[in-house]
Chains A and B, each alone.
Chain A
Amino acid sequence: MEKFLFLYRGKEGGHGLSPEAMQKHMEKWYAWMGDLAKKGIMGASEPLQPTGKQVSGSKKVVTDGPFIEAKEMIGGYTVVNAKDINEAVEIAKGCPVFEVDGKLEVRPIQKM
């Protein structure tokens, strides 16, 4: 088993969905995540707030987020256990992020 980091990227905020559609969408996330959790292949997994601070440079300049274009915002992350990158990608395809025109980045964890 290898560890992979799933990074969810998408538009900030409610994706322009109505409250009912948003509710339905959130239920899909719960179902998908719940499935990973119950299969025992889910590690740390948390959604992120759309705000934050960025610390950069040798001078440690602090700026307010967002850090890149709003439609590329990282909305959350999940550590997933999978056999290899192919299996991880297959798992990723089930993610509801694609329904709102989002992206999912699958990154193998580097063993040091």
Chain B
Amino acid sequence: MAENTNKEVDKIVDHLFRHESGKMVAVLTRVFGFPNIEQAEDIVQDTIIRALETWKFGKLPDNPQAWLYRTAKNKAIDLIRRQKVKHKIENDIAPLLRSEYTMMPAMNEMFTENEIKDSQLRMMFACCHPSISQEGQISLMLKTLCGLSTHEIAKAFLTSEDTIQKRIYRTREKIKEEKISLDYPGADAMVNRTDTVLKTLYLLFNEGYNSSHPEKLIREDLCEEAMRLLMLLTETPKTNLPQTNALLALMCYHISRFNSRLDDKGLIVLLKDQNRAQWNTFLIDKGNEYLQFSANGEVIHDFHIEAAIASAHANAPSYEETDWKMILQLYNTLLQRTNSTVVALNRAVVLGEVEGYEKAITELENMKGLEENCYYNASLADMYLKQGNSELAKEFLRKALTLTSSNAEIELVRRKLADCK
């Protein structure tokens, strides 16, 4: 009985920890200033530990979130009163922290819903500063905004905790060096800086969606966090740009088939074979909604085109009834804009559906530099198989088999090989 209660508490605390610690770190860093981020994190860590100690006997407070905020607030105020904040606080809140008349009300205000959102946005912009490396941006965001531990981040990126720790340390040093503050960029830089944030969230999402990571839960977490942060951007007028909505639409469409992409045994199910009844219609509707919102203004962003492609797939009644012609046109535009090999590869597969597999094969064989790409070889094999040339298909599948270490991918290629016979 007691054990059950403890487990229940652990689960609630775990969920709270993930969602609230990111918020609290953002708020406290906003109060203390970026150079004091470690102290902000320490306070949050202490708060969580106290919650665990106080709640472990099954006595949860009526409002655990308010309990956490109150505790964190008191710890922060204690630090200010004892003048133990390491680096001098130099922001718009600093004058309010110097008097007992204003300190507590100012702190209470920072923990209101709007200010929490504002702090998270500021933190997002700071983490995605152009002078920070892409992987540094993602790691720091996961740590400070999403409440993931270095252990969890390391697991998500299939690397060691040590590597992640060093990466985060270097990123923070960079922030101090470049004197990156939690102030919003000026109005003239806002769109560009928002685009950088969007790009980072896009990568974060893809990391979860595409990764061959064995643990589904971790991948889901990454996608969920990317979407949560992106939602924050849509809730704020200055970051609620057409491309913000386009990216959110794209994620909604992708995530709507998250569960049908893998079967019960964790094996990959291709788009063609997916059970469309399993696709989440609520998310597809949401995607359609955001795509509508994205259709204003004069600038077309790559995300608009990617979202339109995803929309065509998500709204198609079946694989055969998909509007391949439109998708091909969209890919043509996207390829012109990005000149990316991944786009070219995807486009060639679509070309096969529209203009015949022969054309797709010619297109694929003319591509350079993809010979060691698993997906390239598998796609080529697929086209040969559809064309009826199982000998060549087998050859490319065998090659593909040597180019991946993901169990799910190996199994998929093996099944295809078996189909060839």
Instruction: List residues of A whose CB falls within 8 A of some B CB.
Output: 26-27, 29-30, 33-34, 37-38, 40, 42, 44-47, 76, 78
B105 touches A37 (CB 8 A): no
Given A27-B105, A30-B105, are A46 and B95 also a contact pair (CB < 8 Å)?
no
Residues of chain A contacted by B99 (CB below 8 angstroms) = 33, 37, 42, 44-46, 78
Of all chain B residues, the one with the shortest Cβ separation from A30 is: B105
A3 to B380, CA, bound (A): 82
**Sample of 7 further A-B pairs with CB below 8 A, known A26-B105, A42-B99, A45-B102:** A29-B101, A34-B105, A37-B95, A38-B95, A46-B101, A47-B101, A78-B99
Contact size class for B? Answer: 10 to 19
A-B residue pairs in contact (CB < 8 Å), sample of 28: A27-B105, A29-B101, A30-B105, A30-B106, A33-B101, A34-B96, A34-B102, A34-B105, A34-B106, A37-B95, A37-B98, A37-B99, A37-B102, A38-B92, A38-B96, A40-B95, A42-B95, A42-B98, A42-B99, A45-B98, A45-B102, A46-B99, A46-B100, A46-B101, A47-B100, A76-B101, A78-B99, A78-B101
Q: Which 7 A-B pairs have the closest CB atoms?
A: A37-B95, A30-B105, A45-B99, A33-B101, A33-B102, A46-B100, A37-B96
Residues of chain B contacted by A40 (CB below 8 angstroms) = 95
Of all chain B residues, the one with the shortest Cβ separation from A37 is: B95
Shortest Cβ gap from B381 to chain A (Å): 67
Tally A-B pairs: CB < 8 A.
Answer: 40
Of all chain A residues, the one with the shortest Cβ separation from B100 is: A46
Shortest Cβ gap from B80 to chain A (Å): 14
Shortest Cβ gap from B240 to chain A (Å): 28
Of all chain A residues, the one with the shortest Cβ separation from B104 is: A30
Of all chain A residues, the one with the shortest Cβ separation from B97 is: A37
Residues of chain B contacted by A38 (CB below 8 angstroms) = 92, 95-96
Residues of chain B contacted by A26 (CB below 8 angstroms) = 105
- A29, A37, A45 — most chain B CB neighbours (10 Å): A37
A33 to B97, CA, bound (A): 11
A78 to B92, CA, bound (A): 20
A45 to B134, CA, bound (A): 46
A38 to B100, CA, bound (A): 15
Given A38-B92, A40-B95, A42-B95, are A30 and B102 also a contact pair (CB < 8 Å)?
yes
Residues of chain A contacted by B105 (CB below 8 angstroms) = 26-27, 30, 34
A98 to B105, CA, bound (A): 21
Residues of chain B contacted by A78 (CB below 8 angstroms) = 99, 101
A45 touches B92 (CB 8 A): no
- A38, A40, A78 — most chain B CB neighbours (10 Å): A38
Interface residues of B in 42-67 (CB under 8 A from A): none
A31 to B98, CA, bound (A): 15
A30 to B102, CA, bound (A): 6
Residues of chain A contacted by B92 (CB below 8 angstroms) = 38
A45 to B102, CA, bound (A): 9
Of all chain A residues, the one with the shortest Cβ separation from B105 is: A30
B101 touches A30 (CB 8 A): yes
Of all chain A residues, the one with the shortest Cβ separation from B106 is: A34
A44 to B101, CA, bound (A): 10
Residues of chain B contacted by A76 (CB below 8 angstroms) = 101
B87-115 vs A: 1/0 string, CB under 8 Å? 00000100110111110011000000000
Of all chain A residues, the one with the shortest Cβ separation from B108 is: A30
Of all chain A residues, the one with the shortest Cβ separation from B101 is: A33
A42 to B99, CA, bound (A): 9
Shortest Cβ gap from A74 to chain B (Å): 14
Shortest Cβ gap from A99 to chain B (Å): 16
Residues of chain B contacted by A42 (CB below 8 angstroms) = 95, 98-99
A30 to B100, CA, bound (A): 10
